[in-house]
Amino acid sequence: MKVHFIGIGGIGLSALARFLNFDGHEISGSDMKSSLITKALEDEGIKVSCPQSASNMQDDFDLVIYSAAVTDENPELIEARLKQIRTLSRKEALPIILGDKKNYCVAGAHGKSTTTAILASILESSALIGAISKDFGSNFRYVNDLIAFEADESDASFLLSNPYCAIVTNAEPEHMEYYHYDYDKFYGSYERFLSLAKKRVVNAEDKDIAKLKIEDAVCLYPSKDIKNLCYTLKNGEPCTKFDLKDLGTFEVWGFGFHMASNASLAILAALNELDVETIRKNLLNYKGIKKRFDIVQANEKFVVIDDYAHHPTEIEATMKSIELYDNLTNLNKRVVLWQPHKYSRTSDNLEGFKKCFRRCDELIILPIWTIPGEKKIDIDFPKEFASYNPIFADKIIATNGKIELIKDEKIIKTYEEGIFLGVGAGDITYQLRYK
């Protein structure tokens, strides 16, 4: 097929484009502007057009797939429909892409990218992930028809992922605007996702998973099944060792009980394919994922860490990891830079955000990262976060060994010592990386 992707530069859609390209289809795509992702796609032989234009729509396209960010006013989508080319959203296209594959699908509000990447490393399988795995340097890998797939609950698209094995890390309510704040509908989607699979692996201690009706699942009870945690640094990188049930000792990149839990779910799922000794060995292939406790610069006095955490539960887990890292490095200062993501998420989880930074010594708050068309919600940040005595800034500038804090185009503070952590899902990851 000749398939065109509108919004191909997105982390999720680019992975699907890459997969179909390696599966033998002729792929093209477009985006609003070029990026590192679009340049990588071009290097792989995929034609990418920037910006988007109706002229990009060819008569012989068999299928057009568009991202969730694409509206009905998009010129390429309009032209495709005028030409009567079959058009599908990313969600609608999943059965075509995954329908005949053996899919290990990982869902959950938190930890699904990490768990999917770990599973892909263990299985040495194909992978479709909403993040960059450092094991293979991409959000995508094509090996065979065995796939580790990050399944998305935000728009219920995980119901179209054709899971052979469904893995659920947790089911904390998130993206409730999609479910019209109907909790029965939200939890029902998870139940449906699990019921579609032949094999099921769940974190049975999660309070929200406990609300689900689940039949015949492999259950992980982290507090009982994971023992003897040990945190170390290997060549300056974080490492967690732990015992799992009666399967012996495992070692995974990263810090924290949540890392042991994510790895354990991947291990239990992988037992459907591999023996435990192979799993133990292959787990060492996992080297973390970009933007998850991502150490972007480090010297003996100063470490800068980038983390995608953008929900209070995720930030709390990252802060625990920072505490462990601080205890091992004795840097003795924890500065957190937070870029709130979306008015709705910030407002819905405000009480959680007010609590999750309690392990930091200093909190910096950037302007909210918004999405087009989002309704503005007034939030009094100075009042709500007064207990932290936060610093408000417009942006940062990263240089080698230094972070400069910018307000009204002036440097208001410079950081050269301690641990400097940036959290958020906006452009903060680019600000933290010096050129």
Q: Please report, for the domain that includes residue 76, its CATH number.
A: 3.40.50.720
User: What is the percentage of the chain residues whose pLDDT exceeds 70?
Assistant: 100
Give the other-Cβ count within 10 Å of 396's Cβ: 22
Same domain, 168 and 267: yes
Report the candidate in 104, 112, 154, 155 with the shortest Cα–Cα distance to residue 131.
Answer: 112
Same domain, 385 and 305: yes
Write out the E strands in 34-123: 47-49, 63-66, 87-89, 102-107
Global pTM exceeds 0.85: no
pLDDT tens for 9-18 read 988 899 999 9
pLDDT tens for 314-350 read 999 999 999 999 999 989 999 999 999 999 999 999 9
Report the candidate in 287, 256, 344, 3 with the shortest Cα–Cα distance to residue 132.
Answer: 287
- 331: domain CATH number is 3.90.190.20
Same domain, 56 and 104: no
In the listed set 262, 285, 308, which residue is the last one of a domain according to the structure? 285
Domain extent for 347: 294-431
CA distance 58 to 103: 32
CA distance 217 to 233: 35
Q: Are strands 63-66 and 47-49 parallel, antiparallel or unpaired?
A: unpaired
* pLDDT of 262 above 80: yes
* pLDDT of 372 above 80: no
